[in-house]
Structure 1
Amino acid sequence: MPVVELVAAGYAYEDGPAVLADVGFGIPAGRALVLLGRNGAGKTTLLRLLSGGLRPGSGELRLDGERVRHDRAGLTRLRTSVQLVTQDPDDQLFAASVEQDVSFGPMNLGLPEEEVRARVAEALAALDIEVLRDRPTHLLSFGQRKRAAIAGAVAMRPRVLILDEPTAGLDPHGQERLLTALGRLRELGTTVVMATHDVDLALRWADDAAVLVPGGVRTGPVAELLADGELLAAAGLRLPWATAVAGLLRERGLLAPDAPAPRTPEALEAWAAAAR
């Protein structure tokens, strides 16, 4: 059973056409899942529906198989399990220091001070920003603000962490540090969902993919979906470079049809060294 799930869900903004219609989409525990689609395809809307920020115009949202009520009690129950981090960290950072910001959510749960401190320390360590604990949030770099915003969500100890374009605006070094932090969260048992239009990142990072196409969502193993040229064309996406390279290698008989394809430049280099 998915942890959180949309069933026959639809949504339209006021005075606008439907953004999503009859969507069925669930997030299983323990998998790294990437949500892919062109800009304007409805990725952010879908994430806000899953996290309770928007209420489905039709269909319903379920948590552990039970319908989520969009009242105070229902949304509190949802947000102890599911946390969304938006694309712009400045939408979520508002306290004077990193520690104060990260502690805000646990304090609102009415937890004892000792428990709040433990959660803050745990979140800062998971995102590798302990040294920023007392830093004013307005003095952080963009990448530091991204990780601080994620730490605030992690301090809630959600079962599902949803990230909207988390690597947008980061340089390559910042992306690597963030991906390392996300790997650490997965090791601690958090299910991580990432929305992006970066197919190379998706193939490298995710176990499963959900691809937004006109008329719905296609889900499955990331390597399988991102090798489907017709699906990617319908979604306005391109083939990942690794998939294109693997296809070329197979055409030339250099890679067996059932052999796993290298997903990163490092993996390709290692394959080439072994094949010499």
Structure 2
Amino acid sequence: MAVTPLVELVGAGYAYEDGPAVLSGVDFGIAEGRALVLLGRNGSGKTTLMRLLSGGLRPGSGTLRLGGADVAYDRKGLVRLRTSVQLVVQDPDDQLFAASVEQDVSFGPMNLGLPAAEVRERVDAALAALDITALRDRPTHLLSYGQRKRAAIAGAVAMAPRVLILDEPTAGLDPDGQERLLDVLAGLRAAGTTVVMATHDVDLAVRWADDAAVLTPSGIRTGPAAELLSEPELLASAGLRSAWAPVVGAFLRARGVLADGVPGPRTPEELAALGS
């Protein structure tokens, strides 16, 4: 029995004013509980796709569905969509605007007209989930880049979305900051949030995602991340380099170090552990 995606584009297309179509005839859905990664070269349509899914843009053709029902682009329909699907943009400075972290994170729930007690509860939970409770009174302009990233995500999390879409969330973070953010995303997933990430980092995608969507000039290819991101020709067509993990896994299997069907190492640390 087919499972209805949480949010889904059906036959969708979009073109910016006086420009060619960025996307055309797109059928694309987000399945509940799966970590999904979006990959493609600059200009491939990733940002447009994310904005269509979150209601920031309206398809020029086709339909956006939420829970199997067509989205209405009136106030009621958009509120329903945006309380279910939240997009966090790449640059946190494009999203943060309030004087303090707590004020920024509380803006969305307050705008929904929720009771003050529920707003406080949501803000507390979002700050805790992103591990920035100690920063609640900090002016947003005094935060580090990584702290601003997490504050922007907390603002989305406070809306209690079913789907959280992140545009290049690890860009600009040092290795420690990336690992801390990945731990945060793991916690959000464990709490029931479906997470979608756009990235150029193919190695991160292989390591993190269950499913992948690769945007190429000939359309969108989707499938299990481990399989899809093992196709060098597909990655090349999307302007992406080959992932480290599939290449190393194939090398180890060819030399009898790994049996067929056994997952290979996803990181250098896991590779080193094989030899210990």
TM-score over 0.5 for the pair: yes
Distance in 1 (alpha carbons) for counterparts of 2:106 and 2:144: 20
Distance in 1 (alpha carbons) for counterparts of 2:259 and 2:204: 24
TM-score normalised over the length of structure 2: 0.97
Deviation for aligned residue 1:246: 1.1
Distance in 2 (alpha carbons) for counterparts of 1:159 and 1:71: 20
Q: Indicate the residue corresponding to 2:218 in structure 1.
A: 215
Distance in 1 (alpha carbons) for counterparts of 2:209 and 2:171: 17
Please say if residues 39 and 197 of structure 1, whose CA atoms lie closer than 8 Å, have aligned partners that are also in contact.
no
Deviation for aligned residue 1:137: 0.3
Match for residue 19 of structure 1 among 18, 22, 30? 22
RMSD of Structure 2 on Structure 1 (CA): 0.8
Q: Which amino acid aligns with 1:48?
A: R
Q: Indicate the residue corresponding to 1:246 in structure 2.
A: 249
Q: How many residues align?
A: 273
Unaligned runs of 5+ in 1: none
Answering whether residue 87 of structure 2 is matched by residue 84 of structure 1, we say: yes
Write out per-residue CA displacement over residues 161-193 of structure 1, whole angstroms, 9 at most, x where no aligned residue. 000000111111111111111111011100000
Deviation for aligned residue 1:215: 2.5
Deviation for aligned residue 1:231: 1.3
Identity of aligned residues (%): 77
228-237 or 137-146: which moved more? 228-237
Q: Which amino acid aligns with 1:34?
A: V
Answering whether residue 197 of structure 2 is matched by residue 194 of structure 1, we say: yes
Partner SS state of residue 167, structure 1 = coil
Q: Indicate the residue corresponding to 1:104 in structure 2.
A: 107
Unaligned runs of 5+ in 2: none
TM-score normalised over the length of structure 1: 0.97
Distance in 1 (alpha carbons) for counterparts of 2:233 and 2:96: 40
Distance in 2 (alpha carbons) for counterparts of 1:41 and 1:271: 38
Distance in 1 (alpha carbons) for counterparts of 2:21 and 2:122: 40
Stretches of 4+ aligned residues off by more than 6 angstroms = none
Deviation for aligned residue 1:33: 0.5
Q: Indicate the residue corresponding to 1:267 in structure 2.
A: 270
Distance in 2 (alpha carbons) for counterparts of 1:15 and 1:132: 44
Q: How does 1:109-188 map to 2 (within 5 A)?
A: 109-188=112-191
